């Protein structure tokens, strides 16, 4: 019996492939962590690209402040039922504050929808889900 022929790749190609596989394995939904030119880390490419858009709006003066990974405790009847880590809290020049979570289709889960509802019930905050290419 002849062994199957496999495609070949260089050592550098294999190392890049292996790094990507390891990064995806560490994420429940396969998001690959990213890093910007300043070394700032992001949980996904969607999050990185959205932050870059916010930085442009900040330079134009439309956005006054961008806060990343803002944690909110979800307390119901005095009992801590969980926490929600918001991707971005954005304050606009007109005083409006937007609470944004960057999403991909696989991360739009029932748990996300439950936490989104708890944020509204506990804090009066409507979390806006932003997908790749939106906003």
Q: What is the CATH number of the domain that holds 72?
A: 3.40.1350.10
Q: Is residue 4 part of a domain?
A: no
Q: Is residue 5 part of a domain?
A: no
Instruction: Give start and end residues of each alpha helix (H) in 1-135.
Output: 11-26, 45-60, 110-123
Q: Is residue 6 part of a domain?
A: no
Q: Is residue 49 part of a domain?
A: yes
Number of domains observed in the structure of the chain:
1
The Cα–Cα gap between 79 and 40 comes to 34
Which residues are 68's β-sheet partners? 88
> pLDDT grade, residue 59 (50/70/90)?
very high
Q: Is residue 45 part of a domain?
A: yes
For residue 86, pLDDT over 90 is answered with yes
Q: Is residue 78 part of a domain?
A: yes
Domain that holds residue 94: 11-131
Which CA distances in Å does 76 have to 81, 83, 122, 126, 129? 7, 11, 7, 17, 23
Q: Is residue 2 part of a domain?
A: no
For residue 135, pLDDT over 60 is answered with no
Instruction: Tally the residues of the chain.
Output: 135
- Residue 43: the pLDDT is 77
Q: Is residue 1 part of a domain?
A: no
- Residue 25: the pLDDT is 52
């Amino acid at each position: 019996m002849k062994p199957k022929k496999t495609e070949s790749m260089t050592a550098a190609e294999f190392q890049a492939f292996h790094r990507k596989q390891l990064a995806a394995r560490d994420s429940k939904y396969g998001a690959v962590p990213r890093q910007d030119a300043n070394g700032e880390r992001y949980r996904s490419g969607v999050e990185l690209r959205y932050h870059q858009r916010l930085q442009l709006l900040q330079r134009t003066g439309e956005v006054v402040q961008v806060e990343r990974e803002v944690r909110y405790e979800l307390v119901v009847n005095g009992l801590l039922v969980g926490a929600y880590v918001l991707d971005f809290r954005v304050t606009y020049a007109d005083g409006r504050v937007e609470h944004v979570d960057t999403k991909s289709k696989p991360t739009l889960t029932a748990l996300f929808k439950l936490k989104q509802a708890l944020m509204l019930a506990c804090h009066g905050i409507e979390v806006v889900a932003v997908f790749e290419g939106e906003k």
